[in-house]
A and B are shown apart, each in its own frame.
Chain A
Amino acid sequence: MSRHLDIDVAIVGGGLVGSSAALALRNMGFDVALLDKGFCGAQASGVNYGGVRRQGRPREQLPLSQRAHAVWPRLKELIGIDGEFLRSGHLKLARSEADMASLEAYAAEVADQGLDLELIGHNGLRERFPWIDGSILGASLCAGDGHANPRLVSAGFASAARRAGVHVLENTPVAGITRNGEGFALEAGTGTTLTAAIVINSAGAWADRFAADFGEPVPLTRIYPSMIVTEPLPPVMTVNIGIEGGGIYARQVERGNCVVGGERALPLADPDFSRPRGDGALAIMNRTAEVFPALRHAQAIRFWSGTEAAMPDRNPVIGFSGTTPGLIHAFGFTGAGFQIAPGVGEVLAELVRDGRTSTPIEAFSISRFSRPATSRPDQHRTSHGSGADQPPEPHNRGAHS
């Protein structure tokens, strides 16, 4: 079946970035198509850990993260469901004095950004969070952070976009994008062709291909964070947990299941899919039982993983193409795109409408990868240094949440 659409904006990739942009643009009155090679929200956005966390992000991400922070409590009004968003707080644990010092340094560094971090010592931790193992020395609490159900939020944005009048074309892989006069021509699977004035490249771990097609190769790699989930348990965890320097991150959902992430999975023969390694899953499980003694006798019922785009400096690419007018990139969230995606969607819509945005995004320009190597940020150290000795972790501080 062949069909043709002539629209204002074509969005390639129906993850949370693409679908929140689609909804925002539609609400501004644009004619929008949202294309996904599979189902919207079936990749990273729908299978991630579900951490809605500002704490631990590099300073340059915080204005964007704060913008997203304002969107999360409004989900019900925006997409018709609350996505099980819970403002539980995010508690980042320190296992050593050095880790605690690192948490303190971070709190000082971002003190002016409005995260309201609270540093908690060992005694305070024992008193307020007695379900955390006594070997943990201290922690940093961001009371305004929380967690949500990615399966619902991502599908929710896409279906809200559809209801708002966005052409949501699933199972429609974009095969090629070409510059066509003032705009673009897109060829997609199932005989679909589109012409659009603007193209947003939000193709997640597959976005590098489209950037390269327009002369902007990027050093994007794929990472596969591993997740495990327990059977439903009585309420134990009152906050979303991260650990300084990595290891595991854990949250308990309302139904009682504890979701725990850590380690890295491996892609399958079809690299769109990945699965945790058996020993990796066991390592997460064993660590969970150590850090949360109440879970010692719990059972794990499922593992999973997802495919995520990682950039070497752990910051995403967001903004106009450096080579091609009308092309906007938004990818490479390096394990931490869930929380900021609804903010990114708003920013992308502003870029389309106004050609600029009120939120600072200069640090995320794609042109940073075409500058001489000397000015490129260090590959393993971030401005406030942690996780330095690790391969790219889902985000700069070594753990999502």
Chain B
Amino acid sequence: MSARPQPLVVGAGPAGIRAAAALVAAGLRPLVVDEAPACGGQIYRQRLVQDGRSTKDLYGSEAGKAERLHAAFAALDGHIDYWPQALLWNLRDGTADIAVAGTSRRVAYDGLILATGATDRVLPVPGWTLPGVFTLGGSQVSLKAQGCAIGSRVVFAGSGPLLYLVAWQYMKAGVEVAAVLDAAPATAKLNLIRAVPLDAGIVLRGARFVAELRLRGVAIRTGVEGLRFEGEGRVSGVAWREGGRERRLACDGVGYGLALRSETQLADLAGCTFRFDDRDRAWLPTRDVAGRSSVAGVYLAGDGAGIAGADAAERAGERAALALLEDRGLAVDRARVVALETELARIGRLRDVLEAAFPFPAHWAGAIDDSITLCRCEGITAGAVREAAKHFDIGEINRLKAVSRVGMGRCQGRICAAASAEVLAAATGKPIDGVGRLRAQAPVKPIPLALQLAADRSEDAA
């Protein structure tokens, strides 16, 4: 091994695995860290214990991809250093602080590939904090990792392709799905016709989900407004407006989400420049087609750099690794580079269409009642946020955080920042990109006060 420190890959999902594999193929030995106990990321998350379910049961039509990816990672054994259940909580100037196995290690890296993935985006609606209400991603995790359903009669609500996928997966798992409540009007789905030449398979699969759900009697509602979750102490039903009429359904579990948001705190700590992305309606680290960020030696891949899905993540991960190799002056396969970039461009166009078909209901933000909790960690209501913005004459999200505490709690705004920015924009009449971006601070997630700095260095840890 050379005297140069190892490259560091953060995240062992589709992007991180393909990145690590490409580095290994070129003779490098990266360190791969991930919070999860096993590889796969969110989408190809593995069960915690073998429970008799097949990969087909777990991943449905994506089982082949899941198997290939898990196998690809297994094949890296011995060629990488892999720290599962490791939290990278701080980054600076080529050094990462990583909490793993009860201590914190300082790791010097040369080349950093951030493949940090995404989590659900939500806008608060009445009852969103009731027990029994989960995010769409959370509903899926509980099914995949633990084999648990979030209820026995479940409603899925919100927007985004995940809405139908999770509903279908629950139905397949034998759970009663009472309804799918889609925020987008039915006409939005006409956009999907444009997706056919880009990826007919995805359109067909979506159509099949809807058809099979309908066949089983699942109510599919579009253009849903005024969504709220009801119940005393736990969710017992959902209510909404549809074409001006009030509707109501009993249920004991809700999966709710409005597509995904990128996990960008590490890119922020790494010093990357951000720009506002209209498609994701979010601030994202800038990158070139290869995944190079604005900071030399820092590469971005997968949903953490912008929502594009698992297929894109695999390619972006590999492309970012090739960029790292190129930047080290190592030879890369040009044909492969071109193929990856062509595929990524195609998926990018597909994403444009999907966004039009599953639009984010931004107009919900202005309608959030003052009494609704916006920031769960700190218990801050939408009304308190609006009041603080008014009292202090504030139209910028970091200032809003300072005076209202919104985004200051355990989640550091990962859950509430998008919604808070929407509420602030609506309250001040500013465009969403005019209220700024919540700056990240370490630690990325909470760490124990008693966490000790390990005496060793990564080099001997391997």
Contact = CB atoms under 8 A, between A and B. Distances in A.
Given A152-B403, A278-B90, A302 B441 contact: yes
A285 interface: yes
B446 A289 contact: no
Contacts of A301: 409-410, 412, 443, 446
B97 interface: yes
Nearest to B450: A289
Contact of B450 (A281, A286, A302): A286
Contacts of B408: 302
A282 B399 contact: no
Given A152-B403, A155-B392, A302-B408, A281 B442 contact: yes
Contacts of B412: 301-302
A274 to B, nearest CB: 11
A159 B448 contact: no
B90 A285 contact: no
A279 B452 CA distance: 10
Nearest to A296: B450
A69 interface: no
Interface in B47-98: 89-90, 92, 95, 97
Interface string A22-53: 00000000000000000101100010000000
A296 B402 contact: no
A282 B448 contact: no
A39 B399 contact: yes
B450 A285 contact: yes
Nearest to B396: A39
Contacts of A343: none
A299 interface: yes
B375 to A, nearest CB: 12
Given A282-B104, A302-B408, A151 B403 contact: yes
A235 B347 CA distance: 53
Interface in B276-321: none
Contacts of A151: 402-403
B326 interface: no
A298 B442 contact: no
Contacts of A297: 448-450
Contacts of A288: 449
B443 A300 contact: yes
Contacts of A231: 409-410, 446
Contacts of A338: none
A46 B448 contact: no
A212 interface: no
Contacts of A285: 447-451
B106 interface: yes
Contacts of A279: 97, 106, 453
B451 A155 contact: no
A268 B448 contact: no
B383 interface: no
A331 to B, nearest CB: 22
A226 to B, nearest CB: 11
Interface in B94-129: 95, 97, 104, 106
A13 to B, nearest CB: 17
B393 interface: yes
A159 B442 contact: no
A162 interface: yes
Nearest to B442: A303
Contacts of A115: none
Given A39-B396, A42-B399, A159 B391 contact: yes
A194 interface: no
A332 B432 CA distance: 38
B444 to A, nearest CB: 10
Nearest to A258: B449
B271 interface: yes
A288 B89 CA distance: 19
Interface in A127-166: 151-152, 155-156, 159, 162
Nearest to B411: A301
A276 interface: yes
A40 B409 CA distance: 23
Interface string B390-408: 0111101011001101001
A278 B97 contact: yes
B399 to A, nearest CB: 5
Nearest to A304: B441
A42 B447 contact: no
B398 to A, nearest CB: 8
Contacts of A42: 398-399, 402
Contact of B443 (A156, A268, A277, A303): A303
Contacts of A46: 402
Given A155-B399, A162-B393, A231-B410, 6 more contacts: A159-B391, A159-B392, A268-B271, A297-B448, A300-B448, A303-B443
The 8 A-B residue pairs with the shortest CB-CB distance, nearest first, are A278-B97, A299-B446, A278-B90, A151-B402, A285-B449, A289-B449, A289-B450, A301-B446
22 contacts: A39-B396, A42-B398, A42-B399, A80-B391, A155-B403, A156-B392, A231-B409, A275-B92, A275-B269, A277-B92, A282-B97, A282-B453, A285-B451, A286-B449, A286-B450, A286-B451, A297-B448, A297-B449, A299-B449, A301-B409, A301-B412, A301-B446
